[in-house]
Amino acid sequence: MSDELHPEVYFEDLELSDDVLDALWDMRFEKCTPIQAQCIPHILQGRDLIGIAQTGTGKTAAYLLPMLTLLAREHIDADAVNCLIMSPTRELAQQIDQALQGFSYYTGINGVAVYGGNDGVRFEQERKSFQQGADIVIATPGRLITHLQLGNLDLSRTTHLILDEADRMLDMGFIDDIKLIMKQLPAQRQVILFSATMPPEIDAMAKEFMTSPAEVRIAVSKPAEKIDQSIYVCRDADKPAIVQHIFAEIHPQRVILFSSSKQRVKELTVALKRKGFNCAQMHSDLDQKERNEVMLAFKQRKTDLLIATDIVSRGIDIDDIQMVVNYDCPHDPEDYVHRIGRTARAGREGKAITLVNEKDRHLLARIERLLEEKLPRRPLPPGLKQPEEPSHSEPRKQGGKRRGNPRSNHLAKPHHDAPKNVASPQRKKKRTQQKKGGES
Q: Is 87 in the site for ligand AMP (CB under 6 A)?
A: no
Residues ≥6 apart with Cβ < 8 Å to 246: 325, 353
DSSP 383-396: TPPPPPPPS-S--S
* 33 binds ligand AMP, rule: CB under 6 A: yes
Nearer to ligand AMP, 60 or 152 (CB): 60
Is 415 a binding residue for ligand AMP by CB under 6 A? The answer is no
**What SS3 string covers 115-154?**
CCCCCHHHHHHHHHHHHCCCCEEEECHHHHHHHHHCCCCC
User: Which residues, listed in sequence order, are joined to residue 308 by a DSSP beta bridge?
Assistant: 258, 282
Q: Which is nearer to ligand AMP, 36 or 89 (CB)?
A: 36
- Tell me which residues in 302-321 interact with ligand AMP (CB under 6 A): 317
32 counts as binding ligand AMP under rule CB under 6 A: yes
Binding segment for ligand AMP (CB under 6 A), chosen from 53-61, 108-116, 205-213, 385-393, is 53-61
Q: How far apart are CA 110 and CA 177, in angstroms?
A: 25
Stretch that binds ligand AMP, among 56-64, 66-74, 234-242, 247-255 (CB under 6 A): 56-64
Residue 269 lies near ligand AMP (rule: CB under 6 A) = no
* Shortest reach from residue 28's CB to ligand AMP, in Å: 7
Q: Give the total residue count for the chain.
A: 440
Is residue 61 involved in binding ligand AMP (CB under 6 A)? yes
Q: How far apart are CA 318 and CA 102, in angstroms?
A: 17
In terms of Cα–Cα distance, which of 437, 407, 86, 419 is closest to 220? 407
Q: For residues 372-411, which are near ligand AMP according to CB under 6 A?
A: 411
Using rule CB under 6 A, residue 165 touches ligand AMP: no
Q: How far is the CB of 411 from ligand AMP (least distance, A)?
A: 4
Residue 64, interface with ligand AMP (CB under 6 A)? Answer: no
- Residue 22 near ligand AMP by CB under 6 A: no
- Secondary structure of residue 113 in the 3-state scheme: strand
E strands of 264-418, at which residues? 279-282, 305-308, 323-326, 350-356
Q: Which is nearer to ligand AMP, 19 or 238 (CB)?
A: 19
Q: Which residues bind ligand AMP (CB under 6 A)?
A: 29, 31-33, 36, 55-61, 317, 411-414
